[in-house]
Amino acid sequence: MKIRKVTAGLLVAGIALSACGREGSPAGETGGEGADLSYEVAENVEVEGSPTFEKMQQNGGPVIGVKDDQPGLGYKSGATNEYSGFDVEIARLVAAKLGFDPEELGDNQYRAVPSAGREQAIMNGDVDYYVGTYTINDERKNQISFAGPYYEAGQGLLVAEDNNDINGKDDLAGKKVCSVTGSTPVERVREEGLVEPGGEIVELQQYSQCIAQLNQGQVDAVTTDDAILLGYAAEDPENLKVVGETFSEEPYGIGLPKDDDALRDKVNDILQEAMEDGTWQEIYDATLGKSGTEAEMPELDRY
Ligand code: GLU
């Protein structure tokens, strides 16, 4: 946790610096746009016994579930319509190693799905896989499966720059705190009664909506993973700051249809190779780690 906090602070500083150069398009700076990452597209890929892979082949490529409003992780630029960020790059890498050229992925092959809709989108087959700040946990494993983890985040707090009374989760009593429906952070705030007594949890569909409420002074804090909050703070360092220690572990996984073990094995192999051959590091450095700071590569959990 300590290490993460130090890294996080530097990350904000670094992104904030780089965001200064290009006003009006800060998301590009945090999102890895223009990072020119490219992945060798695998040939003659077979994933024996995977109905999802078969479907991707029949359709000429995957449909990938992502976030589109989380700078640095999964972000769609209004100006260019391009997706960028750490999660998006992981999604592209997986596509390439499954044999589908990520450069040829059309707009309709990315589907923005908010936190509350993820399990259903995977179960319905609306997306073939999902990469978007998706915490691996047992409850979700009842409905879908996960490859990974490919990143470890932790729950944190974002407040207005001039707020001096919230410095950690124990300061939330009586406050109005915003988070997103269907997310692990909102559940934690509720289960631990963090805003009690007298506070209020404001639950919205997307983190960008919480940011808008924070900017308008309608809520006192936004809570979710530090990686997400740091992306927003970096876009608006004069008005927003991330405070306190992280207070959970959020291992990010790639969401997959529950019974497709063959695909899960394959995606885990892809992640493992990327962690071993430097690709993971390249992706990290070009997106979340743009400031030159380091993050730990997690151990895969092949359950
Ligand atoms: N990682 C957390 C989750 O999966 C929070 C981020 C999100 O809502 O995507 O619930």
What is the DSSP secondary-structure string of 35-88? Answer: -----PPPSS---TT-HHHHHHHHTTS--EEE-SEETTTEEE-TTT--EESHHH
Which residue from 69, 183, 206, 249 has its CB within 8 A of the most atoms of ligand 1, so it is best to mutate?
183
pTM of the shown model: 0.90
Residue closest via CA to ligand 1's atom 8 equals: 183
Decide if pLDDT at 224 tops 80. yes
**140 CA → ligand 1 middle, Å:** 12
Each residue's pLDDT tens digit, 69-103: 999 999 999 999 999 999 999 999 999 999 999 99
Query: What pLDDT shows up at residue 249?
Result: 97
Compute CA 273 distance to the chain's CA centroid, rounded to the nearest angstrom.
21
**Residue 231 phi, psi dihedral angles, 5° rounding:** -65, -45
The SS3 assignment for 267 reads helix
Which residue from 113, 184, 207, 247 has its CB within 8 A of the most atoms of ligand 1, so it is best to mutate?
184
**141 CA → ligand 1 middle, Å:** 14
Decide if pLDDT at 155 tops 60. yes
Q: In angstroms, rounded to a whole number, what is the distance separating the alpha carbons of residues 290 and 85? A: 11
Q: How many CA atoms lie within 13 A of 283 on its CB side?
A: 25
Question: For 8-22, 104-118, 229-243, which range has the lowest pLDDT when averaged over its residues?
Answer: 8-22
Query: What pLDDT shows up at residue 294?
Result: 74
225-262 burial: b if 16+ Cβ within 10 Å, else e: bbbbbbbbbbbbbeebbbbbbbbbebbbbbbbbbebeb
Query: What pLDDT shows up at residue 296?
Result: 86
Residue closest via CA to ligand 1's atom 6 equals: 133
Structural domains of the chain ordered from first start: 3-152+252-291 (3.40.190.10), 155-243 (3.40.190.10)
Ligand 1 residue neighbourhood (C-beta within 6 Å)? 115, 132-135, 180, 183-185, 224-225, 250
Compute CA 230 distance to the chain's CA centroid, rounded to the nearest angstrom.
11
Query: What pLDDT shows up at residue 295?
Result: 86
Ligand 1 atom nearest to CA at 180: 8
**115 CA → ligand 1 middle, Å:** 6
